[in-house]
Each structure stands twice: as structure tokens, then as C-alpha cells.
Amino acid sequence: MAVAQVVRSEWTKVRSVASTVWTLSVALVVTVALGVLISWLTRREFGNMPARDRLTFDPTFISFAGMSLGQLAMIVFGVLVVSNEYSTGMIRTSLAAVPQRGVFYGSKLAVATAPAFAVALVTAFASFFLGQAMLGPHRTSLGEEGVLRAVVGGALYMTLIAVFSMGVAAMLRSPMLSLGVLMPLFFLLSPILGTVEATKKVGQYLPDQAGARVMQVVTIDDDVPYGPWGGFGIMALWCLVVLAGGYLLLKRRDA
């Protein structure tokens, strides 16, 4: 089967499953709404902040506050778009129709990543502009140094969250098992490791903590040994590892 036909087939699967469309919509709405709310609250409380917090205030990063919750929807999207066929048993039919597993896997990833990036890009810019509007006199602009990089980086961060989830789902095949690994990783293990002094040096190399650096414009003096794009590179490397793992297991296992 030609690659173009496989891509069209995978695109039909993605857009015909209501849950995948809804999760992307939720990612956009939740991220923007929460970012606007937190930006508005920050403006109201700015005068009560300690002097050090005002000096290191990052208006760009504040407008992305909703991503902490919005990434939950991107995780669900990444898991569902890959594992849905396993849970329904349709994977057997798909692999029978496309025996070249590399073509099948690559087409599925490409077709799922494209809408994830499109939604993430709209989400990042909407979060930024609406968040800055809420911040009023404390706002920044795209023309300021590092701001455009941070906004585009926010879109890339959300996209890689979905891609990472796809790789995990390809390895585990079960949506419940995949979510059972990803949710604790991002919402329990990572925050704990990043907060506890003894484990901070480990936590800073986890995909979400490293990737989030690309969204920061104002960085507080710390001992993190990488910059914005260095952190993004670490996150991208995590994605490559899990995607490679998913491909190897797809080649070796029966459907």
C-alpha cells in the first residue's frame, strides 16, 4: 500500500473518533481559560508580591499557567490516538492491510502530530495575547527579547507532550495502563522530584521539567545546567526514546 493511502487512512481514523477531537478542543479551552484567570489574579495581587518575586516576574510564563492542566488533555489525546485500535481489536485489521509496520507507525504518528501542533500553536498564541491583556501594566510583547521563542516553545512543548504519550501508548498498548503510567509521572512523580531538594537534580531532567524551560523568558538564578533550547532538546530526546521503543515492540509483537 502506498504511503499516501496509509496517511489518508490514518487521518480518517483520527478525525472520525470523537474522543480525539474533543480532547484537543479541551486542551485549547482549558489552557487558555486557566491562563487568563491566573493572569488576571496575578495582576490584582502584583502589589502584594514580595520584592524578589516582582523583580523576577515573568509575564510570558504566567500566561502559560494553564498548560499544567491543558497538558492533561494532550496526554489523553496521544494515548487514545495510538491505543484505541488495540482496545477495539482493529489493530489486527490495520496491520493486515499495512504489513509494513514502519510505514503504519510513522503515518499514525505524523497524522496525529500535525493536528496536535496546530491546536498547540493556536493555544500558545491565544494564551499569550489574552494573558497579557489581563496583566495590564505588567504585560510584555512579542517584540521583547525571548518572548516569541517562548510562545512558539509553548506550542512545541504541548506537541511533544502528546508525542511522548503516543510513544508510551505504542509500548504499552492499553489506554488504561498508559494513562496509569503517564498521569503519575507528570502530576505526581515529577512535581515531587522537582520540589524535594535531594532530588531536584534528577527531576530537572524529566521531560516536562526540562521542556518547560523553553517557555520561560525570565529565569531565576539556579543551578540548572541547560538553557531554554537545551531543555527542549532533552524533552525531544525523551520522545525519541519512547517512540523508538514503541516501534521496536510493534515490529516484534503480534497484534
pLDDT tens digits along 134-176: 999 999 999 999 999 999 999 999 999 999 999 999 999 999 9
Domain that holds residue 201: 3-252
pLDDT tens digits along 84-122: 888 777 788 877 777 788 888 999 999 999 999 999 999
Q: Is the pTM of this model over 0.85?
A: yes
pLDDT at position 13, please? 81
Summarize the confidence of residues 237-252 as an average pLDDT: 95
- Tell me which residue has cell 491505543: 83
pLDDT at position 245, please? 96
Summarize the confidence of residues 37-60 as an average pLDDT: 89
pLDDT at position 195, please? 86
pLDDT at position 6, please? 83
pLDDT at position 11, please? 83
pLDDT at position 167, please? 96
Q: What is the CA radius of gyration of the chain?
A: 19
User: Taking 60 as the threshold, does the pLDDT of residue 255 lie above it?
Assistant: no
Total structural domains within the chain: 1
pLDDT at position 102, please? 86
pLDDT at position 110, please? 94
